[in-house]
Amino acid sequence: MSQAWSILLIDDEEDIREVMAVTLTDAGHTVRTAADGAAGIRLCSEAPPQIVITDIRMPGMDGLQVLERLKAQHPDIEVIVATAFGEMDLAIRALQLDASDFITKPISSENLFLALQRAGERFTSRRRLKDYTLLLEKEKAETSQQLLKTIAFQRNLIESSMDGILGCDDEGRVLIYNGSMERLAGYGRSEALAGMRFDQFFAAAEAASFRTQLAGEGFGGAGRLYLYETILKAGDGRVIPVQVSAATLMDEGRPVGVVGFFRDLRELRKLERDIADQARILHQDKMISLGRLAASVVHEINNPLAGILNYIRLMARLLQQGPLTGERQQKFERYVGIIESETGRCAQIVSGLLSFSRRSPAAFGPVDVAELIERCVLLSRHKLELGQIRLDTRGVQTGLPALAGDFNQLQQCLINLIFNAVDAMPNGGTLTMEARLEEPPAAVLILVRDTGPGIPPEHLANIFEPFFTTKSEGHGLGLGLSTVFGIVARHHGTIAAQNHPEGGALFVITLPLAAAHGGWP
């Protein structure tokens, strides 16, 4: 069995805490749990664990705040953060704050134990370094044997580091070159120690910039660099993004060399690209929905415009008959009111379409559920009428508390479900939309049901997977429900699909209330 660790689990969901605690305890680890960040911080102060596993999204103090507090108060504790689907930006931020690793929900045992192994290796390396530092502070080597042991320990410490370590003398010649650096840079140890210079590991411009920044005050003070990002030039010609912490070594006030600790950023950059890809797919799905809305909205606007034109002609005829008095004035005023109402209706439809089509960053805030459903219905009404589909929204409760979310993304989510319902009822039917409060937990349920043939039972487990579709070729890429799943997950909610007992498919979305979430993410 691998080494047993003392672990603290911090998660506001009791079921997740219990399952993970049982899994880790069965593996031989000592486990304590906390339901929120503040309680976790208190437990760490009372009896510091070796490793903390914290959810990144919690009411009150979130996982990033927990990470920062722990690193400030207990720098020896290794922290693993747990993120939901599509939260790679937060995972990247956690790594930048010196988290040892991150795992995504739902958490598999394999990923959990892999992250635990990495955190354990970092904890062991840090402890060895701390012990070595204390050793040097408390005593000096009194015999040649003690000195040899110290040197051997130092070499072992350098070699066991997960970061690449590169050290050079005052003329730039490489003197220290550990195994991690060898794997990162691609130069053999004998080659590096046989006369290579520090600057050879960078492109010319990068080497000059590195030395300028090391001498400046911008990254930790003169003679120090902290988490400086640059480009490493590997032995095979590849360029590798790295994060470097470095220091000028001094002896009696004179610089005698430079040592740098290099962390590979390629995986971090891959995560950043994944985030950009997610945003692109989300917008692509929105544009597909927009195309399907466009023709319907044109017809929806055409009717009030035709009415406006007719009433303008009637008003012109009244003016041609002479001054407006009595009954003719009342007619004219009534026509003006109708034109104003129909113009406002057109403006509302166009405004909703423009708002839906706009590409903008996620903006979380209070979302009125009734208004959200009303906007979706406004954009989809004509499409429903053309498909001879009756809309039933009597189950939408009024006065529901606000959700914490991005209005535009949630609108995209519901419009996708409406389109799926329309596709499922080619010969007409009924689309039912409901919204109601569920307590506990404090959440809103949004239900979308059609009266189509339902979902084949063998497909229910796969319908939220990317590119899975039951439609014929040329009728969709299978991204719609995957996008819906991603949006709901980013709002810390859930979505489930089932066949209704009376026929048709039923989608149930559960979204937390703003008050229960402790504000906006």
Q: Would you kindly state where each structural domain of the chain is located, as residue ranges? A: 6-131, 161-264, 275-359, 366-521
Q: What is the pLDDT of residues 139-187, one digit of tens each?
A: 554 544 555 565 565 666 666 677 888 888 888 888 888 888 888 888 8
Q: What is the pLDDT of residues 25-58, one digit of tens each?
A: 998 999 999 999 999 999 999 999 999 999 888 8
- Superfamily of structural domain 366-521: Histidine kinase-like ATPase, C-terminal domain (3.30.565.10)
Q: What is the pLDDT of residues 299-347, one digit of tens each?
A: 556 666 766 776 787 788 788 888 887 888 887 888 788 788 778 767 7
* Residue 519 to residues 281, 315, 330, 364, 516, Cα–Cα distance (Å): 27, 53, 52, 9, 8
pLDDT at 473: 39
| Total residue length of the chain | 521
pLDDT at 509: 93
Confidence of residue 434 (pLDDT cuts 50, 70, 90): very high
241-252 average pLDDT score: 84
Would you tell me which CATH number, out of the four given (3.20.20.140, 3.30.70.270, 3.30.450.270, 3.30.450.20), belongs to the domain 161-264? 3.30.450.20
DSSP assigned state of 21: H
Token pair for 517: 């979430």
In this structure, are residues 67 and 42 in contact, taking their beta carbons and an 8 Å threshold?
no
Residue 145's φ and ψ, nearest 5 degrees, are: -65, -45
Confidence of residue 220 (pLDDT cuts 50, 70, 90): low
Sign of the C-alpha dihedral computed for residues 217, 220, 224 and 225 taken in this order? negative
Q: pTM for the whole thing?
A: 0.40
- Burial status of residue 490 (CB atoms within 10 A of its CB: 0-12, 13-18, 19 or more): buried
**CATH top-level class for 6-131?**
alpha beta
Residue 318's φ and ψ, nearest 5 degrees, are: -65, -40
107-121 average pLDDT score: 85
Token pair for 339: 């034109």
Same fold, 6-131 and 161-264: no
Q: What is the pLDDT of residues 5-25, one digit of tens each?
A: 999 999 988 888 888 889 899
CA 327 to chain centre: 64
